Amino acid sequence: MSLSDATADVLVIGAGIGGLTAAALLQERGFRVVVLEKSRHPGGSCSSFRREGYTFDAGASVFYGFAENGRSGTLNLHTRVFRRLGVLVPSVPDPVQIHYHLPGGLDLRAHFDRARFLGELSAAFPHEAAGIKRFYRELEAVYDILSSLPAGSLEDPRHLLSVGAAYPAKTLALALKTFRSMGRTARRHISDPDLLRFIDIEAYSWALQDAIGTPLVNAGICLADRHHGGINYPLGGSGAIPRGLVEGLEKFGGVVRYGAGVERILVEGGAAVGVRLEGGEELRARAVVSNATIWDTFNRLVDDSRFRIPEERFLRAPSWFQLYLGVEAGVVPEGMHVHHVQIDAWEGYDQPGGTLYCSVPSLLDPSLAPPAHHVVHAFVTDEAERWEGLERGSEAYTRRKQSMEAELMGRLEGLMPGIGSGVKLRVSASPLTHERWLNRYKGSYGPLLKPGQNILLKPQNRTALKNLFAVGDSTFPGQGVIAVTYSGVSCASLVSSHFGRPLVALE
């Protein structure tokens, strides 16, 4: 029987990390799952591509969640998910999360070793040493709670009751912390404006918001866990993560259909009952999970104005301009760290192009490049609106890309002097590339909370349309690979409970 004749239990729109995580866990639980992916490979922005012997990370390049520390809880989710699926995704630890190059000659490294990081930060701001310890202790307290509580859906009463009964004090403490922001917490302990700017960058480097707009709970996950689970790079590149999830899904009988773009979510009697593909084929299921952004899901795939999501309801995360380079090894300085954030001036760091991100993952995994060569991934935030009126492949579009490439190359000289002379391969991607290849509204990386909004106001997995669920960076807890992995675990927990077959907690 072909898929067009069959009824799946769950259809998942999009093979991003959130969608694949939910799909694989549901399939392992015994549901019949079909993932529909418009492109020819899985992973979305967490994927890899090869050119002329070089393997590049398409987007994501810093990864949490691969540690083995024996503790239960919501952290180290990649380890727990792949353990449940019986899939091995090898990784290598990175001793420095990010090397920051900031205005005024401020040069700081976020070491895995917490004492070393806090010591280096206190040496730069000796008058704030006590406040630094108090602030990062607050992040550590969030980590301590999350490392104890099992992952599951905040919308599942059974999960909440079981967690609350088993960990009443920690559950209450976490609930209270959801009302606090990272930036306001920092200001309770710290007053130096340059140090507060650094804390803003600590948030912006992964949340795309300053510390005031970043919930304390999110900060506790990333900025404390880096000193416990640490940063680990998946061998073979970021694409190893979605490949591992697909392997797990297929191992238990699930299916991924590539080249299967979804045109419409089918709705009958106020409930999602399936999808129609771009070629006209219709598939039906008991539930539909959308890994698309909330704007793509409710303003494009659901044909009912009552469910539309106004863009202004949330802040819209930016898109990116990315530059991928294959270079001779000699242009990479001896002892260089893998991940870098470079800001030339505090003014405008959060505007398009204001912050330069750079990764050289072949320092950890030499297989990504030919012998005596490295891959360099440099990128800045950008907006699709800045490219309006430029047709892909046109002379004007090419000139704009070349101008952006030259700008990034000039800034990379500060990190790798002489890099221009060692480039063997150059590839770039604009916001229009993200919009087209990732099938995302304006190439955006999803909605962000407005300053002051409680983290629980982030869209959850359940939607206003019966039997339609959401997953990915549009949902709680937000942007970042480990965050969308959590959303996938949460979604699988909610859907399985909804159909009377609750997931067994990840171990």
φ, ψ dihedrals at 60, nearest 5°? -60, 140
Q: Please give the Cα distance from 275 to 264 (Å, whole number).
A: 6
**pLDDT value of residue 1:** 32
Convert 269-304 to b/e letters by CB count within 10 Å (16 or more is b): eeebbbbebeeeeebbbbbbbbbbbbbbbbbbbbee
Q: Please give the Cα distance from 272 to 112 (Å, whole number).
A: 45
437, 325: one domain = yes
**Per the structure, how many domains does the chain have?**
3
Q: Which residues contact 381 (CB under 8 A, 6 or more apart)?
A: 208, 318, 319, 320, 321, 350, 351, 352, 353, 354, 355
Q: Which residues contact 406 (CB under 8 A, 6 or more apart)?
A: none
Q: Residue 503: inside a domain, yes or no?
A: no
111, 309, 319, 416 from 337: Cα distances, Å: 11, 42, 25, 11
- Higher-confidence position of 5 and 259: 259
Decide which of 194, 209, 229 is a domain's last residue.
Answer: 229
461, 352: one domain = no
**pLDDT value of residue 3:** 41
Q: Is the dihedral of CA 92, 94, 97, 101 positive or negative?
A: negative
For range 404-417, the mean pLDDT: 95
- Higher-confidence position of 6 and 219: 219
Q: Which tokens go with 480?
A: 């970042």
Residue 234 falls in which region: left (phi positive, over 0), alpha (psi -120 to 50) or beta: beta
Q: Which helix (H) or strand (E) holds 316?
A: strand 315-316
**pLDDT value of residue 311:** 84
The 10s digit of each residue's pLDDT in 267-321 is: 999 999 999 999 999 999 999 999 999 999 999 999 988 989 888 888 888 899 9
User: Which stretch, 54-58, 350-354, 387-391, has highest mean pLDDT?
Assistant: 54-58
**pLDDT value of residue 313:** 85
The closest alpha carbon to 112, from 124, 130, 99, belongs to 99
**pLDDT value of residue 94:** 93
Q: At what angle do helices 17-28 and 77-85 cross, to 10 degrees?
A: 40
**pLDDT value of residue 165:** 67
Categorize the per-residue pLDDT at 381 as very low, low, confident or very high, splitting at 50, 70 and 90: very high
Question: Which residues span the domain enclosing 343?
Answer: 320-442
For 208-297, where are the alpha helices, taking DSSP H only? 216-225, 240-251, 294-296
219, 250: one domain = no
Neighbouring C-beta atoms of residue 124, cutoff 10 Å: 17
Whether the pLDDT of residue 164 is over 70: the answer is no
Q: Residue 100: inside a domain, yes or no?
A: no
For range 174-200, the mean pLDDT: 88
Whether the pLDDT of residue 2 is over 60: the answer is no
59, 61, 323, 360 from 329: Cα distances, Å: 22, 20, 17, 11
Q: Residue 103: inside a domain, yes or no?
A: no
**pLDDT value of residue 211:** 87
Whether the pLDDT of residue 170 is over 80: the answer is no
For range 104-132, the mean pLDDT: 95
199, 288: one domain = no
φ, ψ dihedrals at 489, nearest 5°? -65, -45
335, 365: one domain = yes
**pLDDT value of residue 155:** 67
Whether the pLDDT of residue 467 is over 60: the answer is yes
Q: Please give the Cα distance from 177 to 174 (Å, whole number).
A: 5
Q: Residue 95: inside a domain, yes or no?
A: no
CB 71 within 8 A of CB 506: no
394, 245: one domain = no
Q: Residue 14: inside a domain, yes or no?
A: yes
Decide which of 181, 200, 229 is a domain's last residue.
Answer: 229
For range 72-78, the mean pLDDT: 69
Decide which of 403, 427, 442 is a domain's last residue.
Answer: 442
382, 353: one domain = yes
Mean pLDDT of the chain: 89
Q: Which helix (H) or strand (E) holds 381?
A: strand 373-382
Q: Checking DSSP bridges between strand 356-359 and strand 447-448, what pairing results, if any?
A: unpaired
189, 132: one domain = yes
Q: Residue 72: inside a domain, yes or no?
A: yes
Whether the pLDDT of residue 148 is over 60: the answer is yes
262, 278, 429, 439 from 296: Cα distances, Å: 11, 15, 21, 8
The 10s digit of each residue's pLDDT in 231-277 is: 899 999 999 999 999 999 999 999 999 999 999 999 999 999 999 99
Say what the pTM is.
0.91
Kindly tell me the burial class for residue 74, based on how many C-beta atoms sit within 10 Å of its own C-beta (0-12, 13-18, 19 or more): buried
Place of tokens 């409680």: 454
Q: Which residues contact 343 (CB under 8 A, 6 or more apart)?
A: 101, 102, 103, 201, 349, 354, 355, 356
CATH number at residue 272: 3.50.50.60
Q: Which residues contact 478 (CB under 8 A, 6 or more apart)?
A: 207, 218, 446, 448, 449, 458
Q: Residue 143: inside a domain, yes or no?
A: yes
344, 310: one domain = no
410, 368: one domain = yes
**pLDDT value of residue 322:** 95
For range 184-212, the mean pLDDT: 91
Q: Residue 96: inside a domain, yes or no?
A: no
**pLDDT value of residue 171:** 66
124, amino acid identity: A
- SS3 of 442-499: HHCCCEECCCCCCHHHCCCCECCCECEEECCCCCCCCCCHHHHHHHHHHHHHHHHHHC
220, 123: one domain = yes
CATH number at residue 432: 3.30.519
59, 84: one domain = yes
Least confident of 64-78, 257-271, 484-498: 64-78
Q: Please give the Cα distance from 329 to 370 (Å, whole number).
A: 10
Q: Which tokens go with 336?
A: 């260089």
**pLDDT value of residue 225:** 82
